[in-house]
A and B are shown apart, each in its own frame.
Chain A
Amino acid sequence: MENVLNKEIKKIIDSCPEVGRILDEYGIGCVPCSVGSCLLKDVVGIHNLDPEKEATLMYRIEKAIYPDRNVAKPVIDATKKAAPKKITYSPPVKKLVDEHVLIKRLLALIPTIADYIETSMKVDKDLVLRCVDFIRTYADKYHHMKEEDILFKYVDEKAEIIQVMYKDHDTGRGYIRQVVEGAEKGNKAQIKQNMLAYRELLTQHIKKEDEILYPWIDRQLSTTQVGEMFRRCNEADASVGEELPKKYEKFIADLEEKFLQEVVK
């Protein structure tokens, strides 16, 4: 099993798709991952399952890969029910999780906005560019830059999970360039396709960060590092001014008001 633990997850799933299905049952969504170069041992470790659950998962994976092998089944005490793990974050990481909430509010509106653009006589270029401004300024500059310049520096940046995050950020920037190009050319299909692709990407990306990456980073941070990161994030926020998040909170609230009314109509 040792050599399998050190194998890239995509290669394991490609050769034994059942492993992908087993991981999925445990809330480990490696199958749709665009990179898949994380090692199996890191994939399992990063999810911080309770010991009994992890033992059962590893048993099932080993049986799936080596069905003829005599693998000892872990003994599980059925009377002990593991309490669901509550995710808690350190204060600087909690701030990043809170920023996700505003980004997710835009993501929730994207299908309605995309439909509105598709059915409008003329492309509402101003609306598209204001959404792009939110994504580029709030989601990317204000939020992603704190991840890239501060948070990720506290862990091994070469770790596959961090590389996947960087790749997601880059892919997202590519979709947004396509949205802008679509708006310039008045190409509704290009705008819709790339806005929806951005929504899908960021939805999964935020879920990975909130549930997996951030708790994993938090577990590695010392108390001193938490204090230092808190100060650095506050300095980064202060450098853009307190009006910036307020401005974008208002933008999203206005957008919700407009498009909730559209849905009611």
Chain B
Amino acid sequence: MSGCPGSRTMDFSEKTAQEGSETGKRPSQLRQWPIQMHLVSPQAPYFQGKDILLAADCTAFALGDFHKDYLKGKSIGIACPKLDSDQEVYTEKIKALIDDAKINTLTVMIMQVPCCFGLAQIAKEGAEKASRKIPIKQVVVGLEGNILSEEWI
């Protein structure tokens, strides 16, 4: 069990049953397409004046109630700070979202693994380049889908 925490093999399949209901259908809270940061345009109408969730790819799979608790009411962009190329484009798009789309807030959701903090850094750099200022929140998700921290940065 050594090596990079971002790619280390871990098995949670023996995890005991957790609280929560399996009954009922949960509707998707996604209200846009596309969602990948290379594909989205800051000029898209679904970004204008909205609260934006910038989510690391893995978060939606780790967090059981991702749609209900974090995506609902927000527009989204997803990215992987470890594997995606040309990430300077992301910085420019975040700047454009703040200055041109005049987004209301930015919530950056990342996994607890160190490489994921690169996405928070990209968000900060984009925000620093922007002339408008907006509140930015960082949410860190644990590998087993728990929220480790949620704070304004």
What secondary structure prevails in chain A residues at the interface with B? Answer: helix
Given contacts A230-B135, A231-B104, contact A91 B152 (CB under 8 A): yes
B137 sits at the interface (CB 8 A):
yes
5 A-B pairs closest in CB distance: A227-B104, A227-B105, A91-B135, A230-B135, A90-B152
* Given pairs A223-B105, A226-B152, A227-B105, 17 additional interface contacts (CB within 8 A): A88-B151, A88-B152, A90-B152, A91-B135, A94-B152, A223-B74, A223-B107, A223-B137, A224-B51, A224-B104, A226-B105, A227-B104, A227-B134, A230-B105, A230-B133, A230-B135, A231-B104
B73 within 8 A of A: yes
Measured between C-beta atoms, what is the minimum distance from B7 to chain A in Å?
31
Interface size class of B (residues with CB under 8 A): 10 to 19
B74 closest partner in A (C-beta) = A223
Contact A228/B152 with A90-B135, A223-B51 known, Cβ cut-off 8 Å: no
- Look across to chain B and name the residue whose beta carbon is closest to the beta carbon of A93: B152
Separation of A209 and B137 alpha carbons in the complex (Å) = 22
Residues of A within 8 A of B152 (CB): 88-91, 94, 226
User: Is the Cβ of A224 less than 8 Å from the Cβ of B73?
Assistant: yes
Report how many residues on chain A are interfacial, defined by Cβ distance under 8 Å: 14
Inter-chain contact A226/B135, CB cutoff 8 Å: yes
- A89 nearest in chain B by CB position: B152
Residues of B within 8 A of A224 (CB): 51, 73, 104-105
The complex places the Cα of A230 from the Cα of B151 at a distance, in Å, of 16
CB neighbours (8 Å) of A231 from chain B are: 104
Q: Is A92 an interface residue (CB 8 A)?
A: yes
Q: What does the 1/0 interface line of A85-103 toward B look like (CB < 8 Å)?
A: 0001111101000000000
